Chain A
Amino acid sequence: MIFGYPGAALCALYDAILDHEIRHILVRHEQAAAHAADAYARASGQAGVCLATSGPGATNLVTGIANAYMDSIPLVVLTGQVSSELLGTDSFQEADITGITMPITKHSYIVKQAADIPRIVKEAFYIARSGRPGPVLIDLPKTVLAEENVPLQTPVLQLKSYKVFSKGNHGQIVEAAKALATSQKPVLYIGGGVVTSGAEAILKTLTETANIPVVTTLMGIGALPYQHPNFLGMVGMHGTVAANYAVHECDVLLAVGVRFDDRVTSGLNHLFATKAKVIHIDIDPAEIGKVVRAHIPIVGDARLVLEGISARLLSLEPPEVGAWRRQIRQWQEEYPLRHHTVGSLSPQKIIATIGEIAGGEAIVTTDVGQHQMWTAQYYPATRPRHFISSGGLGTMGFGLPAAIGAQVAAPEKTVFVIAGDGSLQMNIQELATVTQHALPVKIALINNGVLGLVRQWQKLFFAQRYSHCQLTGNPDFIKLAAAYGIPGLRVTADDQVEAALREAVACPGPFLLDFVISPEEDVFPMVPPGKEITEILGR
């Protein structure tokens, strides 16, 4: 499965594709190939593969590679390159793509001879998927691709210097179990690493047997079902009040597969969870102690380590958390997520209705902005790999190509992309990809005619001086979709939401819903940047 776009340097490779059973999705911009491969990986748990030609084709991948790198997504990136003898001469469509992507790839290769390709491809997939996953780039000079009669040997990995830590130190696991058993206010702080390692079952066991409340990061959404009584919601800038208070007040913080991003800690690392003994589980040793000091660091695979802790806890008395749970319930009742709707159409209601109709079975991808945060708050994801969003890099334009990748990975599933009008236009050319490959993705456009999150910051922190966030040249999105052969419907009031969504889902092909909302809708709660986690606006 390859998402790609051909070019001069790749002619030999594209010629060979015709003779093999490799599915290829032709995108309309290479950035979309990288995002689609990225979302394919997130939805399937396999590595995603994207392909672009030399020079501009390769540089167009850069944002997509950075996106996958920040969210630790396994990606194998194939780029065409000019002929070996022209390398370094500023020849036509030459770009030093391994140099350009060095800070945003886990590893990269420039292939010297075709005979090395089997080994390099095998190594690339292994590196991309193992340990902390990430993108691996293989640069393929035209001359290498044109070699004929190449002797192909069974590839043998030559990775003596590459090590993966997986099991976790036994003594530390025992310490962690003891700390949990003697705690009175424990919290599980869950991130994307739990999804990557497939630790959702053991997470559910652990939270239920020891009655420990769970908060997740954006990347951890779906690791525990939204409706689970122990789930407090997302933590951080737009997290729930209960989740943020719980992290602030807890006495043991079991942080699993998280990296204490500044969208969680507000960048105030010394003020984060100060009352807690921090247990930090991560497969990447460099994450331990990078941002917040860990009292009990455990380097290892989230699933294996949690299984170890859980087994150990069985032989100990479970923690006495009755008072803590009552305190949390009080916060939840006092500060529930509230619709702050000002117009006739509530964005929160749109998301919640998508959740009701999809019943948690749909895969939802998002772009980046207010609609993303509303989705994170209100979409009731019931399982991992069903909420797909650009977390670390925050890439506008991710949503539509991500929906393409997710739909290809899971053809039997309903795939929604929840997009903003700013973000959608960053990769709107991919509507043609949707049509060409008959992908039945449902596009829920939350259209406020502005860059909503930027406008919200300007409203709250820049005295309502709205600078260049008005998207007044927006097209008629229904007509635009129609031009690509995609039917659509405009929705302007709450009472039309459900019927419109049902019509979209009933349509056998792709569908666009243009939800026109007020530009005054804001995302709350909000911890202002640089403020303490407890200084929440819009409680």
Chain B
Amino acid sequence: MLHTLAVLVENHPGVLARVAGLFARRAYNIDSLSVCQTDHPAISRMTIAVNGDDQVIEQVSKQLHKLVAVHKVTDLTGQPTVDRELALIRIKVNNDTRLEIMKTVDIFRGRVVDMGRTNITVELTGDGEKIDAFIKTIHNHGILELVRTGTITIIRSEI
């Protein structure tokens, strides 16, 4: 099962290597990882999507927590969350397909952020499934380049 971990770490060089190295040597599989500084400049937040059963995830969390540079590990799985991923996708176009592709982009609430004679670049945000669905839909037109950030996740506020 895919779990999402929010990991607060010291914003130091080498911390990413420690986290990634831990996953590698204990044979855990990272599905996606995204990391950036938080509102506190000394602290970064990593969102790690990792596959495993409950026992594996418990070990991952505990081992992560043992790293001196790790402040806090939270398993967000099963909690009400907002999940977002950003994708930039460069798609092949010609005069016949341009409008159709742009319509599809509209339906997915994406934006065209760059346009050339033979290709356009689309920005799309959403959860991973939505981005997967968009890619599937426009795949036949030809994807020239694709980059995804990996999911970032935040807990929903209580109503």
Contacts and interface: CB of A to CB of B under 8 A. Distances in A.
B18 interface: yes
A161 B17 contact: no
Interface in A59-80: none
Contacts of A92: none
Interface in A71-101: 98-99
A102 B17 contact: yes
Contacts of A288: 62
B58 A289 contact: yes
A285 B62 contact: yes
Contacts of A285: 62, 65
B14 A98 contact: yes
Contact of B10 (A110, A161, A289): A161
Contacts of B17: 99, 102
B69 interface: yes
Interface in B19-46: 21, 25
A107 B68 CA distance: 7
Contacts of A159: 68
Nearest to B26: A103
B58 to A, nearest CB: 7
A203 B14 CA distance: 41
Contacts of B59: 286, 289-290
Contacts of A160: 71
B66 to A, nearest CB: 6
B63 interface: yes
B68 A102 contact: no
Contact of B55 (A106, A161, A284, A289): A289
Given A98-B14, A103-B21, A286-B63, A161 B68 contact: yes
Contact of B68 (A99, A103, A162, A284): A162
SS class of chain B's interface: helix, strand, loop or mixed? Answer: helix
A110 B63 CA distance: 23
A21 B65 CA distance: 38
Given A103-B25, A289-B58, A284 B66 contact: yes
Residue from A160, A161, A284 having most chain B Cβ neighbours under 10 A: A161
Interface string A100-122: 00110011001000000000000
A50 B10 CA distance: 28
A305 to B, nearest CB: 18
Contacts of B91: none
A161 B71 contact: yes
B70 interface: yes
A102 to B, nearest CB: 5
Nearest to B66: A286
A288 B62 CA distance: 10
A286 B62 contact: yes
B71 A106 contact: no
Interface residues of A, number: 18
Contact of A106 (B9, B21, B68): B68
A127 interface: yes
Contacts of A286: 59, 62-63, 65-66
A104 to B, nearest CB: 10
Contacts of B21: 102-103
Contacts of A290: 59
Interface string A120-160: 00000001000000000000000000000000000000011
Interface residues of B, number: 18
B156 to A, nearest CB: 27
A278 to B, nearest CB: 15
Interface in A191-242: none
B103 to A, nearest CB: 49
Nearest to B24: A103
B68 A127 contact: yes
Residue from B59, B62, B68, B71 having most chain A Cβ neighbours under 10 A: B68
A290 B17 CA distance: 23
B72 to A, nearest CB: 8
Contacts of B55: 289
A161 B62 contact: no
Nearest to A134: B66
B27 to A, nearest CB: 12
A162 to B, nearest CB: 5
Given A286-B62, A289-B58, A161 B69 contact: yes
A288 B65 CA distance: 14
A161 B71 CA distance: 4
B56 to A, nearest CB: 11
A221 to B, nearest CB: 26
A98 B13 CA distance: 12
Interface string B40-81: 000000000000000100110011011011110000000000
B62 to A, nearest CB: 4
A290 B65 CA distance: 14
A161 B70 contact: yes
A103 B17 CA distance: 11
Interface in A375-415: none
Contacts of A161: 9-10, 68-71
Residue from A98, A102, A107, A288 having most chain B Cβ neighbours under 10 A: A102
B93 to A, nearest CB: 43
Contacts of B10: 161
Contacts of A99: 17
B81 to A, nearest CB: 24
Nearest to A288: B62
Contacts of A103: 21, 25
B16 to A, nearest CB: 12
B57 to A, nearest CB: 12
B35 to A, nearest CB: 16
Contacts of A162: 68
15 contacts: A102-B17, A103-B25, A106-B68, A107-B68, A159-B68, A161-B9, A161-B68, A161-B69, A161-B70, A161-B71, A162-B68, A285-B62, A286-B65, A288-B62, A289-B59
Given A102-B18, A160-B71, 5 more contacts: A127-B68, A161-B9, A161-B71, A285-B65, A288-B62
Those 7 A-B pairs whose CB atoms lie nearest each other, nearest first? A286-B62, A161-B71, A107-B68, A103-B25, A162-B68, A285-B62, A102-B21
